[in-house]
Amino acid sequence: MMQLYNSATRKKEEFQTHTPGHVEMYTCGPTVYHFAHIGNLRSYIMEDVLEKSLRYTGYDVNRVMNITDVGHLTSDADEGEDKMLKGAKRENKTVMDIAKFYTDAFFSDCEKLNIKTPDVVQPATGLIDDFIHMVEGLIEKGFAYFAGGNVYFDTSKLNRYYVFNDHNEEDLAVGVREGVEEDTNKRNKNDFVLWFTKSKFEDQALKWDSPWGVGYPGWHIECSGISLKYNGEYLDLHCGGIDNAFPHHTNEIAQTESFVGHEWCKQWFHVHHLNTNSGKMSKSKGEFLTVSLLEEKGYDPLVYRMFCLQSHYRKGLVFSWENMDNAVGTFNKLIGRIANLKPGDDVDQAVFDELKAKFVAALENDLNTAQAMTAVYDVLKAKTTDATKLALLADYDYVLSLNLLEKAEAKRQENAKAATAKTEGGYTIVGEGDPAIDALVMQRYEAKKAKNFAEADRIRDELKAQGIEIVDVAGGAQWKKI
């Protein structure tokens, strides 16, 4: 059985679902005013591994994700500038163009990292009527009030507001409100906006009609509204980065449970942050690392995925180029070892089952991906047929999604090419299997033997012009395309 740490109870628990064998899963999606940074993508990688682990262990999963394309302010405490508008101003585009551009960029990054697209992806701007309906319901039930042009959720109506932490109101008040002017319309410090009509910005770009005037939804309401529509009233698993726990998830719980009148989601999964030596990576800091930057520097995005899998999702992870270089070394060695396995069809089912059980146990142990990676090495070390090993690795890769077998096959072909060797008169040419090049290399050798060094140099230059580099080695030469 899958054991997961639950932020709501602060314990590792057996994962339970409302309908046996079926998981309703929700993930907070990206705010599309800028590229996702590799910290955001750490969260999406680990959530992808979670979803695939559930499917792999037999669950049927319906996964829903929002795209925040409206109303997400630069501060989680309902203050600050609209992030979308900030992006539009920065790039001289409309808010909707910005949203489209960065949504596409997000999914392109996900593809490079082998992150599966959720079953349902819903931009917040597409479901405004549902949010309005929910806000109306909360007002009717006495959980929300209209003040100074905005609709607020009244946190004093709840028995328990701080679901994820033991903070008292005083502590939070200082942390959240530092440097921010007081919103005097709020009845309680942690009340939050469900619907804004009083925007601080004259040029608020996206606005809709509502019973309270023209305005736009608060950030938290979108996740509740989208999940209720596509996951139903009983959510089994809610995911996000740890910074989402307060206030975002806390507010989602407050408004959703007040609206539906019962407990909403039992299991809360939070991924801890990717940090650099100078602290948490964040979009608002302006300078951050993207998948494109990794590629520009010559790193395979899947090496970053493996780097994430090497540590537990509930620990902070420090990114550095040195760590990436180590990950490259580990990844290449791993692929090299798999490439040395000989495909065949003598799979030993008993060994397969025994080893697979270890991999499953690692995943079911609060998604211990580091342990799951160790299980990969256990396969390589096992005393069994290569066919069994390859079958196991293909099976594990459904969850790991590191393209282990495809990369090993490419490596095998590369090795095969590199291994072409031709020996003539005691002189061995090792190359990439091109007879014309081998012939030129041989001519150069003959010229050198005849002490015709000018001709030997001419042939070297001719090969160089074709992008071929020759290295003289004992008893022959090696050439490769550069």
Sites of contact with ligand AMP (CB under 6 A): 28, 30-31, 39-40, 42-43, 68, 240-241, 243-244, 271, 273-274, 280-283
39 binds, among ligand AMP, Zn ion, none (CB under 5 to 8 A by kind): ligand AMP
Contact yes or no for 318/326 (Cβ under 8 A) = no
Nearest approach in angstroms of CB 241 to ligand AMP is 2
Read out DSSP for 394-443?
HHHHHHH-S-HHHHHHHHHHHHHHHTEEEEETTEEEEESS-HHHHHHHHH
For tokens 């005083």, name the residue: 170
Nearest approach in angstroms of CB 82 to ligand AMP is 14
332 binds, among Zn ion, ligand AMP, none (CB under 5 to 8 A by kind): none
Cα–Cα dist 470/162, whole Å: 68
In sequence order, the 6+-apart residues with CB closer than 8 A to the CB of 329 are none
283 binds, among ligand AMP, Zn ion, none (CB under 5 to 8 A by kind): ligand AMP
Cα–Cα dist 7/16, whole Å: 15
Is residue 223 near Zn ion by the rule CB under 5 A? yes
The Cβ of residue 416 has, within 10 Å, a number of other Cβ atoms equal to 12
61 binds, among ligand AMP, Zn ion, none (CB under 5 to 8 A by kind): none
Of the two residues 28 and 373, which places its CB atom closer to Zn ion in the complex?
28
112 binds, among Zn ion, ligand AMP, none (CB under 5 to 8 A by kind): none
Of the two residues 70 and 429, which places its CB atom closer to ligand AMP in the complex?
70
247 binds, among Zn ion, ligand AMP, none (CB under 5 to 8 A by kind): none
In sequence order, the 6+-apart residues with CB closer than 8 A to the CB of 401 are 48, 49, 52, 114, 115, 116, 305
Nearest approach in angstroms of CB 245 to ligand AMP is 9
Nearest approach in angstroms of CB 132 to Zn ion is 18
Amino acid at site 305: R
Contact yes or no for 380/337 (Cβ under 8 A) = yes
Nearest approach in angstroms of CB 178 to ligand AMP is 19
Of the two residues 270 and 389, which places its CB atom closer to ligand AMP in the complex?
270
Please say whether the dihedral angle defined by the alpha carbons of residues 193, 198, 200 and 206, taken in this order, is positive or negative. positive
Q: Report residue 99 CA to chain centroid gap.
A: 19
In sequence order, the 6+-apart residues with CB closer than 8 A to the CB of 438 are 422, 429, 431
Nearest approach in angstroms of CB 463 to Zn ion is 59
The CA–CA distances, whole Å, from 409 to 199, 336, 398, 416, 420 equal: 57, 10, 17, 10, 17
Region near Zn ion per CB under 5 A, out of 183-191, 223-231, 343-351, 355-363? 223-231
Nearest approach in angstroms of CB 343 to ligand AMP is 38
Of the two residues 52 and 238, which places its CB atom closer to ligand AMP in the complex?
238
127 binds, among ligand AMP, Zn ion, none (CB under 5 to 8 A by kind): none
Of the two residues 84 and 351, which places its CB atom closer to ligand AMP in the complex?
84
Amino acid at site 389: K
Residue 133, phi then psi, degrees to nearest 5: -60, -40
The 22-51 site mask, x for binding Zn ion (CB under 5 A), equals ------x-----------------------
40 binds, among Zn ion, ligand AMP, none (CB under 5 to 8 A by kind): ligand AMP
Residue 367 Rama label (left phi>0; alpha psi -120 to 50; beta): left
Nearest approach in angstroms of CB 238 to ligand AMP is 11
Read out DSSP for 49-95?
HHHHHHHHTT-EEEEEEEEB-S--BSSTTS-S-BHHHHHHHHHTS-H
Cα–Cα dist 110/41, whole Å: 8
Is residue 351 near Zn ion by the rule CB under 5 A? no
Nearest approach in angstroms of CB 28 to Zn ion is 3
Of the two residues 272 and 444, which places its CB atom closer to ligand AMP in the complex?
272
In sequence order, the 6+-apart residues with CB closer than 8 A to the CB of 307 are 317, 323, 324, 327
223 binds, among Zn ion, ligand AMP, none (CB under 5 to 8 A by kind): Zn ion
Of the two residues 246 and 352, which places its CB atom closer to ligand AMP in the complex?
246
**How many binding residues for Zn ion (CB under 5 A)?**
2
Binding site for Zn ion (CB under 5 A): 28, 223
